[in-house]
């Protein structure tokens, strides 16, 4: 395919100046005249039923407009996603569930009144702890995204039993929280039966569709905007309670309402990465060829909405083996509802697989890079299809060259133990149907309209590049409008599929526009010439090929034997993710993913509180997102792929793969440094020091 200078260029973010000067407006920053503030009241029992509600003291707080409860809140149609059935009944499925909503003139009054709502409950026993062999364990009908829960090739159990070299290990990952820097927030206002919402969302089209259902409105009476979104990482991938509550409160009070969730409310209401127990059984010949790979996953879900973290599926993508099995089990518990978090399933599952591969390399006395190369498959092991492109081996070799591999023996610097580790990564190629319009203006500029979302990826910029490339015009002639549900319909920014989905439609609209313009004579009409494209039927068509991005991660760590503290000294990723469309923003996404992976490896974890039913870490002082001092120089490189089976740009998703291999690379480096194998994340000082002592 022909490419101009625009695609792949390191174009600067189009909204950059607004962001660095503080003028970019986010969802809570639309001070409409008369705008008031809503604050949710979370349930403070782990399970039960509301038996009494005294809102008198709250309503008496100066500045309070109203207090909504299940007794007086507007009725909603039954949602697909039951976490949005808010204030509709007296049931409390988990601690933190919204049981009342205060609306007040100021944030201070709303906060004071929320604290003044008096509620009595009839409490019920709760069960929130995920344990192996929990009596409620079962195999669900499907996992996240409708994916199959199991796969079986050959006779994996027998092959494992007969394998000369075996690894049989279980890895644990804790609940994790997305915690985007902008807490979920929405500003809603009703005007003569029309609802307008500014929300912090990865996809305003879905928000509009869900609100239409809940409020029984035609979609054309709703506009949902998300001009700037302060991160999401999955937790803003579907409408969350803030937008429903804001719309409810705005309808009830007749005033524009902002609901900006306090940080402490997020852990229980916007989703989390579910904890996983992954049992990996790897059987191999003495020369390191896999003969059996079995990955058994157990995770939890909530009683409100079933979500199954699909952690085993990538084990069917990575390595050649005649005998393969993965299976998912889920335990419904009285926990807050899990949901998407960056690489949901891939991050947790690949941590387990890639750690187990490191253990197998150890058993074999083989270099872990070599072990992976030796098991390179020629077709996708689970599905049997040929790969559209796969350059994992090249990523491993390039990474090894740049990082300095084969590694030497571990070394000590005084009390520090220094080690290195490697892990592979993969992420599926996903793409959804999308519509877009392209218009040529008489002044020689072009306008691209598509309801894409920029959650920090640089969507405006890369879509302009795609358009400029397709139109053969300089980048500065192209304007893009995104982040508004009145624009041509587009899918969510999720599954690392945004750019592929939106870009395909943009590319097609531009190609059509060129055709139209070729047939046009004379000057353009004042209102320009526009065309529309819709990729339905093609973007969602099945493929003859297995399509995945791949990568290799290398990490160097220093483990302090005095404290058990682990610091990452170097982190390097090499990716094969199709054609990279903007080298500047792509690098930032890869590095960002690796940083989140570093957090998953070392600092992040939420503890389910068995006694109280929620998470012990409710704020950013206790949920440890890595800080500057945790993050070293991080290198991201890529191997540009020419893959004709993807989309007109030849791109694969890049937003999530960075988080996939990083935790295992760091964990493997800790093992190399210390000789201790820790199989539970995160690798915090308590665990590492204990392991060093027991070593």
Partner 1 sequence: MRSFDYVRARTPEEAVEAFAARPGARYLAGGTNLVDLMKLGVERPTALIDVSRLPLDRLEKLPDGGLRVGATVRNSDLAAHPLVRDRYPVLSQALLAGASGQLRNVATTGGNLLQRTRCGYFQDPGKPCNKREPGSGCGALKGVHRDHAVLGHSPHCVATHPSDMAVALTALDARVELYGPEGARTVDLTDFHRLPENHPERDTELRPGELITGVLLPAALAGAPSAYRKARDRASYAFALASAAVVLRVADGMVTQVGLAFGGLAHRPWRARVAEAAVLGEAATPAVFAGAVDLELAAARPLPDNAYKVPLARNLALDVLTRLAPAPASL
Partner 2 sequence: MGSEIQRSETTLRVNGKPHTLLLDHRRVLLDVLREDLGLTGAKKGCDHGQCGACTVLADGRRVNSCLLLAVALDGSEITTIEGLSADGEGPHPLQRAFLDRDAFQCGYCTPGQICSAVGALAEAAAGHPSQVTDPAAPAGRPVALDRTEIRERLSGNLCRCGAYPRIVEAVEDVIP
Using CB under 8 A as the criterion, which residues of the chain lie in contact with partner 1 when the complex forms?
Answer: 42, 44, 62, 95, 108, 111-112, 115, 415, 561-565, 567, 602-603, 607, 609-612, 616-619, 621-622, 624, 626-630, 684-687, 689-690, 693
Q: By the 8 A CB rule, do 674 and 552 touch?
A: no
Name the minimum Å distance from CB 602 to partner 1.
8
DSSP-derived secondary structure for 607-652: -B-TTTSSBS--STTTS----GGG---EEEEE-----TTS-TT-B-
DSSP-derived secondary structure for 312-360: SGGGGTSS--SSEEEEEEEEE-SSPPP---SSTTHHHHHHHHHHHHHHH
Tokens of 220: 């054309």
Q: By the 8 A CB rule, do 313 and 345 touch?
A: yes
Name the minimum Å distance from CB 306 to partner 1.
26
Q: Cα separations (Å) of 237 from 25, 206, 455, 492, 570?
A: 20, 9, 10, 7, 32
Q: By the 8 A CB rule, do 200 and 232 touch?
A: yes
- 284 vs 572, which CB is nearer to partner 2? 572
The one of partner 1, partner 2, none whose footprint includes residue 230, by CB under 5 to 8 A per kind, is partner 2
Residue among 442, 488, 440, 489 nearest 468 (CA): 440
Name the minimum Å distance from CB 226 to partner 2.
11
What residues line the site for partner 2 (CB under 8 A)? 12-13, 15-26, 28-29, 31, 60-63, 106-109, 112, 178-183, 228-231, 233, 260, 262-263, 455-458, 584-585, 587-589, 591-596, 619-621, 625-629, 631-634
656 is catalytic: yes
Name the minimum Å distance from CB 658 to partner 2.
8
Residue among 670, 678, 172 nearest 421 (CA): 670
- The alpha carbon of residue 461 and the mean position of all alpha carbons in its chain are separated, in whole angstroms, by 21
- 114 vs 224, which CB is nearer to partner 1? 114
The one of partner 2, partner 1, none whose footprint includes residue 179, by CB under 5 to 8 A per kind, is partner 2
- 65 vs 151, which CB is nearer to partner 1? 65
Cα(122)–Cα(117) distance, rounded to whole angstroms? 17
Name the minimum Å distance from CB 202 to partner 2.
11
- 256 vs 433, which CB is nearer to partner 2? 256
The one of partner 2, partner 1, none whose footprint includes residue 588, by CB under 5 to 8 A per kind, is partner 2
- Largest pairwise CA distance in the chain: 82
Question: How big, in percent rounded to 5, are the helix, strand and coil portions of the chain?
Answer: 30, 25, 45
Print burial letters for 251-287: b (CB count within 10 Å at least 16), e (below 16): bbbebbbbbbbeeebbbbbbbbbbbbbbbbbbbbeee
DSSP-derived secondary structure for 125-188: -------TT-TT-B--S-BGGGB-SEEEES-HHHHHHH-SEEEEEEEEE--B----SS--EEEE
Name the minimum Å distance from CB 283 to partner 2.
37
Residue recorded with tokens 């976490």: 83
- 22 vs 365, which CB is nearer to partner 1? 22
- 300 vs 391, which CB is nearer to partner 1? 300
Strand residues in 470-599 grouped as ranges (E) = 478-481, 529-534, 548-560, 566-576
Question: Computed over its alpha carbons, how large is the radius of gyration of the chain?
Answer: 26
The one of partner 2, partner 1, none whose footprint includes residue 228, by CB under 5 to 8 A per kind, is partner 2
Cα(503)–Cα(621) distance, rounded to whole angstroms? 39
The one of partner 2, partner 1, none whose footprint includes residue 23, by CB under 5 to 8 A per kind, is partner 2
- 77 vs 610, which CB is nearer to partner 1? 610
Name the minimum Å distance from CB 553 to partner 2.
14
Residue recorded with tokens 């587009």: 490
The one of partner 1, partner 2, none whose footprint includes residue 107, by CB under 5 to 8 A per kind, is partner 2
The one of partner 2, partner 1, none whose footprint includes residue 618, by CB under 5 to 8 A per kind, is partner 1
- 111 vs 512, which CB is nearer to partner 1? 111
- 265 vs 305, which CB is nearer to partner 1? 265
Cα(58)–Cα(41) distance, rounded to whole angstroms? 11
Q: Cα separations (Å) of 71 from 57, 93, 230?
A: 17, 17, 34
Name the minimum Å distance from CB 29 to partner 1.
20
Cα(344)–Cα(403) distance, rounded to whole angstroms? 28
- The number of C-alpha atoms within 13 Å of 482 and in the hemisphere containing its C-beta is 32
The answer to whether the Cα torsion of 381, 382, 386, 391 is positive or negative is negative
The one of partner 2, partner 1, none whose footprint includes residue 690, by CB under 5 to 8 A per kind, is partner 1
**Which of 227, 354, 508, 656 is an active site residue?**
656
- 54 vs 122, which CB is nearer to partner 2? 54
Name the minimum Å distance from CB 250 to partner 2.
18
Name the minimum Å distance from CB 693 to partner 1.
6
Residue among 21, 201, 40 nearest 113 (CA): 40
Name the minimum Å distance from CB 621 to partner 2.
5
> Would you say how long the chain is, in residues?
695
Residue recorded with tokens 């999720």: 494
- 119 vs 576, which CB is nearer to partner 1? 119
Neighbouring CB atoms inside 10 A of 139's CB total 12
In degrees and rounded to multiples of 5, residue 231 shows phi and psi of 85, 160
Task: Give me the active site residues, please.
Answer: 656
């Amino acid at each position: 395919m022909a490419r101009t200078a625009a695609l792949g260029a390191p174009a600067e973010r189009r909204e950059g100046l607004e962001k660095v000067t503080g003028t970019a407006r986010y969802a809570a920053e639309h001070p409409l005249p008369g705008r008031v503030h809503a604050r949710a009241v979370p349930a403070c029992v782990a399970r039960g039923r509301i038996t009494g509600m005294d809102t008198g003291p709250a309503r008496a707080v100066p500045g309070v407009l109203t207090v909504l409860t299940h007794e007086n809140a507007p009725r909603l149609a039954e949602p697909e996603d039951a976490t949005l059935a808010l204030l509709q009944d007296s049931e409390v499925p988990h601690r933190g569930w919204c049981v009342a909503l205060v609306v007040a003139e100021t944030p201070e009054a709303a906060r004071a009144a929320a604290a003044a709502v008096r509620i009595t409950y009839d409490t019920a026993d709760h069960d929130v702890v995920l344990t192996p062999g929990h009596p409620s364990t079962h195999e669900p009908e499907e996992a996240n995204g409708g994916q199959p829960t199991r796969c079986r090739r050959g006779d994996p159990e027998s092959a494992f039993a007969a394998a000369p070299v075996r690894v049989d290990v279980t890895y644990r990952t804790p609940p994790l929280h997305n915690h985007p820097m902008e807490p979920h927030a929405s500003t809603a206002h009703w005007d003569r039966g029309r609802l307008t919402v500014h929300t912090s969302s990865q996809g305003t089209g879905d928000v509009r569709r869900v609100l239409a259902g809940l409020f029984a409105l035609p979609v054309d009476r709703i506009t949902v905007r998300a001009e700037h979104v302060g991160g999401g990482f999955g937790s803003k991938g579907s409408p969350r309670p803030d937008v429903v509550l804001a719309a409810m409160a705005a309808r009830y009070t007749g005033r524009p309402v902002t609901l900006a969730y306090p940080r402490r409310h997020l852990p229980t209401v916007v989703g989390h990465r579910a904890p996983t127990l992954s049992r990996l059984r790897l059987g191999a010949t003495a020369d390191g060829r896999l003969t059996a790979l079995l990955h058994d996953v157990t995770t939890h879900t909530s009683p409100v909405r079933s979500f199954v973290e699909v952690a085993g599926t990538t084990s069917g993508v990575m390595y050649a083996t005649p005998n393969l099995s993965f299976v998912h089990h889920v335990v419904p518990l009285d926990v807050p509802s899990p949901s998407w978090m960056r690489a949901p399933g891939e991050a947790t599952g690949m941590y387990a697989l890639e750690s187990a591969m490191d253990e197998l390399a150890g058993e074999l006395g083989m270099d872990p890079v070599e072990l992976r190369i030796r098991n390179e498959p020629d077709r996708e092991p689970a599905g049997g299809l040929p790969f559209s492109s796969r350059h994992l081996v090249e990523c491993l070799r390039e990474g090894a060259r740049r990082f300095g591999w084969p590694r030497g023996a571990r070394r000590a610097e005084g009390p520090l133990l220094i080690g290195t580790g490697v892990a592979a990564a993969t992420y599926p190629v996903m793409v959804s149907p999308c519509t877009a319009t392209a218009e040529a203006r008489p002044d020689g500029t072009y306008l691209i309209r598509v309801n894409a979302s920029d959650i920090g990826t640089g969507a405006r910029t890369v879509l302009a590049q795609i358009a400029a490339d397709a139109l053969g015009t300089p980048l500065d002639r192209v304007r893009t409008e995104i982040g508004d549900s009145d624009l041509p319909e587009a899918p969510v920014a999720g599954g690392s599929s945004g750019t592929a989905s939106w870009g395909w439609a943009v590319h097609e609209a531009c190609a059509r526009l060129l055709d139209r313009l070729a047939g046009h004579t004379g000057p353009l009409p004042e209102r320009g010439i526009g065309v529309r494209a819709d990729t339905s039927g093609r973007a969602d068509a099945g493929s003859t090929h297995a399509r995945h991005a791949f990568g290799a991660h290398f990490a160097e760590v220093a483990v302090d034997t005095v404290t058990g503290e682990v610091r990452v000294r170097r982190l390097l990723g090499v990716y094969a993710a199709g054609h990279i469309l903007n080298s500047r923003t792509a690098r930032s996404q890869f590095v960002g993913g690796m940083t989140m992976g570093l957090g998953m490896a070392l600092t992040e974890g939420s503890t389910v509180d068995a006694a109280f039913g929620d998470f012990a870490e409710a704020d950013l002082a206790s949920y440890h997102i890595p800080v500057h001092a945790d993050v070293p120089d991080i290198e991201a490189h890529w191997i540009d792929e020419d893959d004709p089976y993807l989309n007109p740009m030849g791109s694969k998703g890049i937003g999530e793969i960075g988080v996939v291999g990083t935790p295992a690379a760091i964990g493997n480096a800790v093992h190399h440094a210390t000789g201790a194998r820790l199989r539970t994340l995160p690798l915090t000082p308590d665990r590492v020091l204990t392991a060093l002592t027991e070593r």
